[in-house]
Amino acid sequence: MSERPDRRPSPSAAKRTGWRRPAAPATPPPGSPASPQPAPAAPAPPNHRSVIDSAVYRDGRRVASPTTLADTFRRLREEPDGMAWIGLHRPTEPELHSLAAEFNLHELAVEDALEAHQRPKLERYGDTLFVVLRAARYLDAQEEVDFGELHVFVGPDFLITVRHGGAPDLSTVRHRMEETPELLRLGPEAALYAILDAVVDGYAPVVEGVQTDIDEIETEVFRGDPAVSRRIYELSREMVEFQRATRPLVGMLHGLMAGFAKYGTDEELQRYLRDVADHVTHTSERVDGFRQALTEILTVNATLVSQQQNAEMRALAEAGFEQNEEIKKISSWAAILFAPTLVGTIYGMNFSSMPELSWHFGYPFAILLMAVVCVSLYVIFKKRDWL
């Protein structure tokens, strides 16, 4: 998208009187109903601090650090040329509704910020820009990618960040911007671009961590680790989430760049955003490459597992074949030895009325018979390769 809050041509022209609320509520004429007052900030639940940091800036320098949303609203009204930067972490519904009433936030954007689990997007509601970002960080101990969600409301004189999850660390972004007041005085857009830069820079350690994981997975695949398939699958799912975080961001940044001329974006911010767009494009291409590499690794692993299974089946078949050969040899010799045993057993019964018992050639005939049977069986088994 190319819609963004109207830029001021220079800091000296940053009056924004058409966008600001009155510095002090006007006194209603006698007899008229009282003017509605902005809803006060709801108290945070015990053991939970939603407002991480809240500050009012003038000319790029912090002039107030209110501790409550109500104090922030009041202090901002006292600074006609000021800008409020409110950082929230998992705010309550009353807190977001008080912000919506004070800064005229659209109810659909507020609903998205409450529910979270949104895709990265950029939408404009009147003078307010609503941006959803998916931040990521690499957890070395678990060797996995942790995703966070960040919602940003950008108005003419305010910037509100609603963070869901551990990433990103916006305190570092705020500190860096406060050290460069010449950039911060350009308004909420400058802070938005700094946040975009922090989110995209946070992808770099994730990319390096994933690259290391892929290198390790390749080693495990060729080493035959049986648990590598699960690791490939889990990392592939994380890369799907990573793609969902980076791909929409490419279009969002190019949409912002397309509106440079229309909205009179400061030259410094234009260079800033182009650099962020280059980084996120590079990251998106790396993530696409990771998914392709993991798909190929999974294919190679399946092939290697199949080859290993085939080798094991072939080894089992060869073992079975060898066992059958041994059984045939044993059976052949058992048959050969059975023949003389049978003849000898019959002629050893010593019955007085047995034929050939008194025959003069009985013994040589029995020996010859056993030899003929044994030799015949041996020749038969040999021709059949049993011996």
Q: Which helix (H) or strand (E) holds 63?
A: strand 61-64
Average pLDDT, the chain: 80
Query: Is the confidence at residue 89, as pLDDT, over 60?
Result: yes
Query: Is the confidence at residue 34, as pLDDT, over 60?
Result: no
According to the per-residue pLDDT averaged within each range, which of 12-26, 54-68, 270-284, 294-308 is highest? 54-68
22 vs 161, residue with greater confidence: 161
321 vs 14, residue with greater confidence: 321
Query: Is the confidence at residue 22, as pLDDT, over 50?
Result: no
Residue-wise burial string across 328-355, b where 16 or more C-beta atoms lie within 10 A, e elsewhere = eeeebeebbeebbeebeeebeeeeeeee
- Does pTM surpass 0.95? no
Report residue 12's pLDDT band, with 50, 70 and 90 as the boundaries: very low
pLDDT digits (tens, 9 = 90+) for 244-256: 888 888 888 877 7
For range 369-380, the mean pLDDT: 84
Determine the pLDDT at residue 75: 92
Asked if 178 and 185 count as a contact pair (C-beta separation under 8 A), the reply is no
CA distance linking residue 165 with residue 239, whole number of Å: 18
Range with lowest mean pLDDT among 12-21, 78-87, 140-149? 12-21
Report residue 264's pLDDT band, with 50, 70 and 90 as the boundaries: low
Determine the pLDDT at residue 328: 79
CA distance linking residue 382 with residue 387, whole number of Å: 5
Q: How far is CA 42 from CA 47, 165, 260, 355, in A?
A: 15, 22, 38, 122
CA distance linking residue 360 with residue 363, whole number of Å: 8
- Does residue 128 come out as left (phi exceeding 0), alpha (psi in the -120 to 50 range) or beta? beta
CA distance linking residue 23 with residue 334, whole number of Å: 114
In sequence order, the 6+-apart residues with CB closer than 8 A to the CB of 105 are 96, 99, 125, 128, 153, 160
Report residue 272's pLDDT band, with 50, 70 and 90 as the boundaries: confident
Neighbouring-strand partners of residue 134: 149
E-strand ranges in 260-361 read: none
